[in-house]
């Protein structure tokens, strides 16, 4: 042990201080860093942006990301007030969102160079003002790291106040005039627009379901991988893609079936380069004379109707494979309590019926040439060959593997961040409001422990080298996707079979977990918040998964704002139910704001018409004193660093360590 001013520090602490001394070798260096960190603690908290249930709607996601759910417009209003017209404000906002495209549109047909130069001068001055405002809450070091490499020095000059310059206006005007004179104005405007987008949001939370339904989840993933600061709470649609990428057969079949159902097979073929020809060949041969009307395609406006017949046959082929492989998974795991999902063996094809919960129903389709009534869950030889090729395609797709590894590295089933709890679905409960006990490989888990255990096995399913352990984890990922007690599914069953084959609507019902009827129960919400180690007096739960049907009078704000359900229908498939096109949540140093979005027409319309999709907002929480970095998770880490640096200073001053002065 080492003595230090009447105290003792452990050998482990001394070893840590010696390591820290390599980074801060002198009293001056350690002191400077303490001053720097202490100043950061007093800066306003950075803006957090929460988005959920994107479901492949890339263009709308991209626009919301660019406008920061209205944050850019609010900054413009704050900066210019009544000195700019509404028209000019909209034009400036659109220029920030789409700088290159909007610039081309604004200058189209203009040949008078004086007019163009005047436009550049006014626009650059306005962009510099906005950049100064959005950069003001960050340290100079953090802003410097965000600057585009090509113009970093010039931008820093323009947005940094120079006390030593006598005629500041002339100084800054000359910089801008030079930018215009040397022909760099267009590129500089683009750089400033992108920088404002970058600075207006400090951290992005994706609260689940990037994948399925819409046409662009792979583009969303590319965007997220390039984003400066992001985390992802996995949704059930994400987890089934993660399981598919790991090579899990039932999950691969599910992913392909959903893509075929929504006319989005191009995601797999063009987006990820996965070869579906073996499935196409098998489907067109095996089901060439089959009636596939129940496998209708819910394609969007861009769907090529000439593909409909092929997509329906592919959908039928992969659906039957899915039901077989799901049955095999359920038979491996009786503890899943999902025997009610094994329905192929409950069919009487001679009568054209299926028996569910003791009742016999007539089926809408009974033409299943690959089902052996004696062994209904066995794949035919041809189906096995198709699946072997598909598994190889998914597990060897470099882009898909890169995307899924990103989800594992940046994500989890839940997130505790800055005093709030984020998860996609629910905390499974029984009818009495108690945390539901769920058996996972012989042990029971509930509440936070259930989340932790399921995530542990999900990671095994993707990363484990032992095939047995890997399969156990893959099966858990499939359970997370569709299991009745899965936190991110939260329903009694996945009624895929019934929706295809039965006309009776009551069989399609997927009853929600009791959690969803208890969202206004403060005692239960407090218990959930406490379970995850947070303070019920200040914490919020941010929830996705279940679309809020605003058109029917539902509200996203539950229990006075303690719980916020921010799935408002980003997916076009849900917008007829919700009546809006999605919610997002913005949390900054002034409080929390829930933003409702109008339907996004297109990127082209946003540029030409200067239409935005920020529509309405609800103040969830407004604070009297601005929240500072010191009040956040990062602030706590910085305070710990300051404590360690203070120990290092003391070690230098009492002779425990020696400065390394050059």
Pick the range with the lowest mean pLDDT from 309-313, 345-349, 596-600. 596-600
Selection from 180, 153, 114, 135 nearest residue 43 by Cα? 135
d(CA 319, CA 297): 13
pLDDT digits (tens, 9 = 90+) for 98-154: 999 999 988 888 888 989 999 999 999 999 999 999 998 888 888 989 898 888 898
pLDDT at 620: 85
pLDDT digits (tens, 9 = 90+) for 26-64: 999 999 999 999 999 999 999 999 999 999 999 888 988
Q: If pLDDT is split at 50, 70 and 90, which confidence band does 614 have?
A: low
Average confidence score pLDDT of the chain: 91
Q: If pLDDT is split at 50, 70 and 90, which confidence band does 548 have?
A: confident
Range of the domain at 38: 2-43+631-653
In three-state secondary structure terms, 30 is helix
Alpha-carbon distances of 322 from 169, 195, 319, 517, 587, rounded to whole Å = 69, 46, 5, 32, 41
Q: Domain boundary at 501, 516, 544, which?
A: 501
The reply to whether 39 falls in a domain is yes
pLDDT at 602: 74
CB 223: neighbour CB atoms within 10 A?
A: 16
The reply to whether 56 falls in a domain is no
Q: What is the pTM of this model?
A: 0.92
The reply to whether 75 falls in a domain is no
Is the per-residue pLDDT at 603 higher than 70? yes
Selection from 586, 583, 570, 596 nearest residue 620 by Cα? 586
Contact between 564 and 585 under an 8 Å Cβ cutoff? The reply is yes
Q: Which helix (H) or strand (E) holds 356?
A: strand 353-356
Per cent of the chain over pLDDT 70 is 94
pLDDT at 7: 54
The reply to whether 454 falls in a domain is yes
pLDDT at 286: 96
Q: Domain boundary at 501, 533, 553, which?
A: 501
The residues, any chain, with a CB within 8 Å of residue 17's CB and separated by 6 or more, are 9, 644, 647, 648, 651, 656, 657
Is the per-residue pLDDT at 613 higher than 80? no
Is the per-residue pLDDT at 5 higher than 50? no
pLDDT at 512: 94
The reply to whether 385 falls in a domain is yes
Q: Which residue has the higher pLDDT, 72 or 386?
A: 386
Is the per-residue pLDDT at 579 higher than 60? no
- Tell which phi-psi region holds residue 622, choosing left (phi > 0), alpha (psi between -120 and 50) or beta: beta
Q: Domain boundary at 486, 501, 516, which?
A: 501
pLDDT at 617: 74
Q: If pLDDT is split at 50, 70 and 90, which confidence band does 552 have?
A: confident
CA-CA-CA-CA dihedral for 259, 265, 266, 270, to nearest 10: 110
pLDDT digits (tens, 9 = 90+) for 164-212: 655 667 888 898 999 999 999 999 999 999 999 999 999 999 998 999 9
Tokens encoding 498: 């019934």
pLDDT digits (tens, 9 = 90+) for 207-219: 989 999 889 999 9
pLDDT digits (tens, 9 = 90+) for 260-273: 999 999 999 999 99
Q: If pLDDT is split at 50, 70 and 90, which confidence band does 6 have?
A: very low
Alpha helices (runs of H) in 272-417, residue ranges in sequence order: 277-286, 308-332, 381-395, 398-410
pLDDT at 510: 92
The reply to whether 377 falls in a domain is yes
Is the per-residue pLDDT at 393 higher than 90? yes
pLDDT at 157: 87
pLDDT at 1: 41
d(CA 169, CA 402): 49
Is the per-residue pLDDT at 612 higher than 70? no
Alpha helices (runs of H) in 201-276, residue ranges in sequence order: 217-226, 236-246, 249-261, 266
The reply to whether 330 falls in a domain is yes
In three-state secondary structure terms, 242 is helix
495 and 637 assigned to the same domain: no
Q: Using only C-alpha atoms, what is the Rg of the chain? A: 29
pLDDT digits (tens, 9 = 90+) for 471-511: 999 999 999 999 999 999 999 999 999 999 999 999 999 99
The reply to whether 261 falls in a domain is yes
Q: Which residue has the higher pLDDT, 113 or 325?
A: 325
Q: In the chain, how many domains are there?
A: 2
In three-state secondary structure terms, 117 is helix
Pick the range with the lowest mean pLDDT from 60-69, 94-103, 412-421. 60-69
pLDDT at 170: 85
Q: If pLDDT is split at 50, 70 and 90, which confidence band does 3 have?
A: very low
When pLDDT is averaged across residues 245-274 and rounded to a whole number, the result is 96
When pLDDT is averaged across residues 539-550 and rounded to a whole number, the result is 84
């Amino acid at each position: 042990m080492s003595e230090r001013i009447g105290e003792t520090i452990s050998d482990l602490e001394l070893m840590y201080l010696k390591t820290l001394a390599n980074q801060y070798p002198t009293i001056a260096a350690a002191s400077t860093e303490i001053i720097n960190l202490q100043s950061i603690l007093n800066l306003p908290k950075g803006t957090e942006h929460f988005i959920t249930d994107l479901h492949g709607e890339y263009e709308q996601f991209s626009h919301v990301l660019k406008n920061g759910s209205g944050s850019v417009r609010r900054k413009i209003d704050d900066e210019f007030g009544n000195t700019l017209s509404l028209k000019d404000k909209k034009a400036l906002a659109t220029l920030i969102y789409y700088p290159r495209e909007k610039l081309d549109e604004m200058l189209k047909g203009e040949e008078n160079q004086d007019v163009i130069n005047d436009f550049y001068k006014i626009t650059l001055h306005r962009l510099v003002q906005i950049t100064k405002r959005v950069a003001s809450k960050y340290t100079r070091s953090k802003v410097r790291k965000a600057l585009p490499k090509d113009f970093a020095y010039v931008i820093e000059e323009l947005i940094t106040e120079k006390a030593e310059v006598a005629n500041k206006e002339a100084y800054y005007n000359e910089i801008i005039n030079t930018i215009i004179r040397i022909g760099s104005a267009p590129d500089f405007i683009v750089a400033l627009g992108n920088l404002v987008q970058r600075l207006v949001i400090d951290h992005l939370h994706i609260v689940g379901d990037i994948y399925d339904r819409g046409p662009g989840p792979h583009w969303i993933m590319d965007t997220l991988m390039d984003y400066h600061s992001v985390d992802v709470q996995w949704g059930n649609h994400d987890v089934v893609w993660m399981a598919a990428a790991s090579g899990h057969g039932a999950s691969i079949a599910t992913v392909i079936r959903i893509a075929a159902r929504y006319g989005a097979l191009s995601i797999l073929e063009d987006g990820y380069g996965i070869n579906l020809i073996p499935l196409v060949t098998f489907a067109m041969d095996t089901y060439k004379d089959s009636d596939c009307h129940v496998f209708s395609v819910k394609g969007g406006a861009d769907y090529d109707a000439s593909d409909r017949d092929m997509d329906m046959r592919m959908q039928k082929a992969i659906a039957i494979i899915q039901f077989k492989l799901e049955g095999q998974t359920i038979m491996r795991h009786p503890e899943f309590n999902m025997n009610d999902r094994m329905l192929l063996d409950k069919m009487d094809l001679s009568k054209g019926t299926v028996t569910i919960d003791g009742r016999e129903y007539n089926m809408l389709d009974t033409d299943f040439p690959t089902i052996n009534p004696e062994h209904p869950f066995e794949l035919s030889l041809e189906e096995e060959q198709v699946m072997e090729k598909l598994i190889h395609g998914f597990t060897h797709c470099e882009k898909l593997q890169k995307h899924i590894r990103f989800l594992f590295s940046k994500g989890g089933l839940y997130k505790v961040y800055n005093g709030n709890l984020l998860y996609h679905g629910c905390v499974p409960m029984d009818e009495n409001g108690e945390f539901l006990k769920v058996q996972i490989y012989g042990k029971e888990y509930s509440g936070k422990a259930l989340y932790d255990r399921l995530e542990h096995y999900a990671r095994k399913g993707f990363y484990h080298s032992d095939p047995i352990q890997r399969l156990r984890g893959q099966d858990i990922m499939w359970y997370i996707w569709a299991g009745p007690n899965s936190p991110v599914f939260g329903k009694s069953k996945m009624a895929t079979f019934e929706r295809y084959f039965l006309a009776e609507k009551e069989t399609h019902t997927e009853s929600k977990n009791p959690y969803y009827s208890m969202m206004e129960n403060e005692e239960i919400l407090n218990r959930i918040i406490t379970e995850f180690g947070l303070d019920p007096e200040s914490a919020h739960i941010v929830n996705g998964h279940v679309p809020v049907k605003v058109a029917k009078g539902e509200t996203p704000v539950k229990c006075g704002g303690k719980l916020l359900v921010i799935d408002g229908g980003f997916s076009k498939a849900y917008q007829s139910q919700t009546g809006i096109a999605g919610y997002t949540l913005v949390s900054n140093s002034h409080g929390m704001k829930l933003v409702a979005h109008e339907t996004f027409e297109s990127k082209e319309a946003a540029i030409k018409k200067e239409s935005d999709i920020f529509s309405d907002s609800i103040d969830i929480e407004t604070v009297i004193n601005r929240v500072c970095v010191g009040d956040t998770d990062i602030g706590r880490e910085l305070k710990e660093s300051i404590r360690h640096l203070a120990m290092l200073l003391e070690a230098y001053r009492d002779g425990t360590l020696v400065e390394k002065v050059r």
